[in-house]
Structure 1
């Protein structure tokens, strides 16, 4: 009686390093949207109950409104109305293959966040879906907003800082930042922001408190400048190691535990 079934991914021919979730082999009949890593897989390689899709009009959005990451909108809508989401991880169900020319839709000239409205529309629409869900409590909605913006701002292939730099001029960059600031201020409370994963939270805080694109880039440089910077203005708050930084006169506690992990892995 599942509405969505997520099958285990496997490394197929010419596997390109994309995440393969659910490696532990555990089947979950009634999976939690919060704790079972469902939000880590928003590609449409799943099984869906047709009656559910039709009842709630779950469809891919029009490309004139959501031209990028439209599968994320589709899946978030499906998740939001599903009575039960199940995971099949006992064996391989979907093989992740790479085309021989290493091409895909994501590499086309039109499939890019090169205009502010593209990025703003997907974040706004996903938040609309989360808030309209008949199944998720207010606490779950708050947590899911944090989880989604954390994913969107710092994905495996780009960050919001890089998206801002893609815009064609300063006016467009500021338009994007202002739009993101409006969404964050109006649709995320303090608890929701505190639940954003550390690798993205500094970006959310920087945008929330008025940084422009140059200031965000400078903040990125300061955070990632090495072990010496991590030793300055450090304290522990609620189990997190935070670095106190001034953002437009406001002292903000920026979590930096994730930087220590990246440094230890030799990635930064």
Structure 2
């Protein structure tokens, strides 16, 4: 059988972190004869070589190549390309891992679209990854019609014949950005690039020990020398003009301007920060013209203009101001309707704890940046106006899986509002309504079982910052925070507040036992009543009226038994007959059984009410936290105190008198 995919992994002293990578490869849905793995050990000095040799001995499709240390990833990746036999070559880092179906899905998608390069959706565990690129599937992506240039890491599939046809290999030696050079060339030479956005293929991991190669402080001279090589590739393969400017703006934005903003600059040692600034300025003034600056957001353009004018102190002052910018969001409404959760919110930026304000000058909205008069004049001379593009401000609401960082964008409708702030200034507030359908939120598919956190991202004037949603909320929000049954087969989705901050999260398909705790807040025990032999109880669930929801009810008592009841659901109420003959004379816990497809059966949750049936067969509903009544204890008559004989009392007095005399002596 033809090998479909060759996985190449450069390995150097990964320690325990290689195990997650290995496990993900062993879980792949491709069969072992459909893919092969090459671990290229680049002179590891830990226990990894022996571990990999053992792995290769146990699995015939896994191979190990040992070589002397080359100092970086380029040479071992090239060694892997030379050894590969697959139609496609996939590069993986030794401390990252793959989704279980990643290789199969990426291969099939690449073949279906005759792609030279296949880019699979990525998630960053503790580190950033591109977001916009993976909003949708892009079967025919190019650097012109998609933000491909935002993703320059090598963790992609490349058709092996394509690499050989153009003699494409990684630059070798101890250097930086060899992946930028390789991937940029691949994008520009490829006949077709396919972006798979509806399945999470690659998990980009931050190691606990902080030793990821990309996180280490670099030598600015060497780093920006290597960056120029990536720019050289773009210049070789494009003509001067808008496309080249667009591609160059990626490096200006990500590798230069963003390093000089906010805490990212301020946390650096002063001498290192100045050296970094000087090297950045060298590239900007040498390689980037006005067309490149025009391609970045307003605040990024301001920083670039200050760099060109060599106004380093203004760069630092602006960084100090930007370090105080924080996104804020308020949850204004929450309600289920037809199995869909509607979320209302408002959002804006704050600076140092106060709302960000803008200035109005005639018909212009202006940023109020803390810049010197010289800086303002210099920017004006460069044609960099401080007009705030507030009409383009918006928000995203993202639902993100807590364990594996899988995330999806929710449909959102936004409106912007101006709020007067005095002295001719104003605030901008964004209101939005989002729709969360648990059965389609995962790119048209249902959200998987687990905890999903909601994240709010505000985008305005070149800032894009993220915060959680829910800690600040309106008074009426709690009333809509009910569990609901969605999908077929039915499963429960529970919105809840996280411990501590109180942010909004979803428990999908009863991943935890939170319903029992949340039921205390979502139910009023006093609303439970008994009418004859029928008990009616409130539910912590949003259910359609007259629905035939598969919710069950039972009464139970430890060491006595469990008695199911025929439950009838009507909206937020469940009714059931009381089998008084079986329940008489005892206090019973009440549990509801809510379906869980993942468990294959109902999960039973105790409600915050108990049912008490007295000896006469009369029943009532009480708060489960009410202590059981104790029968009144009978008051026993006081026992008469025996009277001592007279002689005993006299003997006692004589004894005490003799004792006192002895003490006086």
In 1, Cα distance between equivalents of 2:362 and 2:309: 21
Answer with 1 or 2: which has the greater Rg.
2
The change in CA–CA distance for 1:49 and 1:32 in structure 2 (over 3 A counts) is same
1:103, distance to aligned residue in structure 2 (A): 4.5
Question: Deviation digits for residues 162-220 of structure 1, max 9, x if unmatched?
Answer: 46974673xx65554344333223322212201113353222111111122x3311132
Find the counterpart in structure 2 of residue 216 from structure 1: 315
Aligned-partner SS, 1:80: helix
RMSD of aligned Cα (Å): 3.8
1:20, distance to aligned residue in structure 2 (A): 6.4
Kindly indicate whether residue 184 of structure 2 is the aligned counterpart of residue 76 of structure 1: yes
Runs (5+) with no aligned partner, structure 1: none
In 2, Cα distance between equivalents of 1:97 and 1:151: 20
Aligned-partner SS, 2:185: helix
Higher relative contact order (CA 8 A, sep 6+): 1
Find the counterpart in structure 2 of residue 192 from structure 1: 292
The change in CA–CA distance for 1:147 and 1:197 in structure 2 (over 3 A counts) is farther
CA contact (8 A) 1:147 1:197 kept: no
1:145, distance to aligned residue in structure 2 (A): 0.8
Give the counterpart of 1:3 among 101, 109, 116. Answer: 116
Kindly indicate whether residue 256 of structure 2 is the aligned counterpart of residue 153 of structure 1: yes
CA contact (8 A) 1:154 1:199 kept: no
Kindly indicate whether residue 183 of structure 2 is the aligned counterpart of residue 56 of structure 1: no
In 2, Cα distance between equivalents of 1:235 and 1:184: 34
CA contact (8 A) 2:224 2:280 kept: yes
Find the counterpart in structure 1 of residue 143 from structure 2: 33
Runs (5+) with no aligned partner, structure 2: 1-113, 325-350, 390-458, 469-665
**Corresponding residue pairs, total:** 248
CA contact (8 A) 2:153 2:179 kept: yes
In 2, Cα distance between equivalents of 1:10 and 1:266: 18
In 2, Cα distance between equivalents of 1:98 and 1:224: 23
Find the counterpart in structure 1 of residue 281 from structure 2: 181
In 2, Cα distance between equivalents of 1:183 and 1:139: 19
1:250, distance to aligned residue in structure 2 (A): 1.6
1:46, distance to aligned residue in structure 2 (A): 0.7
CA contact (8 A) 1:243 1:255 kept: no
In 1, Cα distance between equivalents of 2:165 and 2:180: 19
In 2, Cα distance between equivalents of 1:95 and 1:228: 36
Give the counterpart of 1:105 among 197, 213, 216. Answer: 213
1:4, distance to aligned residue in structure 2 (A): 0.8
In 2, Cα distance between equivalents of 1:34 and 1:189: 19
Give the counterpart of 1:201 among 288, 301, 306. Answer: 301
CA contact (8 A) 2:358 2:367 kept: no
1:150, distance to aligned residue in structure 2 (A): 0.9
The change in CA–CA distance for 1:255 and 1:116 in structure 2 (over 3 A counts) is farther
Q: Larger deviation: 39-48 or 95-104?
A: 95-104
Question: Deviation digits for residues 55-88 of structure 1, max 9, x if unmatched?
Answer: 3343322344x33x43233212222222221112
CA contact (8 A) 1:130 1:141 kept: yes
Question: Deviation digits for residues 90-128 of structure 1, max 9, x if unmatched?
Answer: 433334455565652234xxx322x22133224312211
Compare the two structures and name the one with the higher strand fraction.
Answer: 2
CA contact (8 A) 1:5 1:46 kept: yes
CA contact (8 A) 1:4 1:79 kept: yes
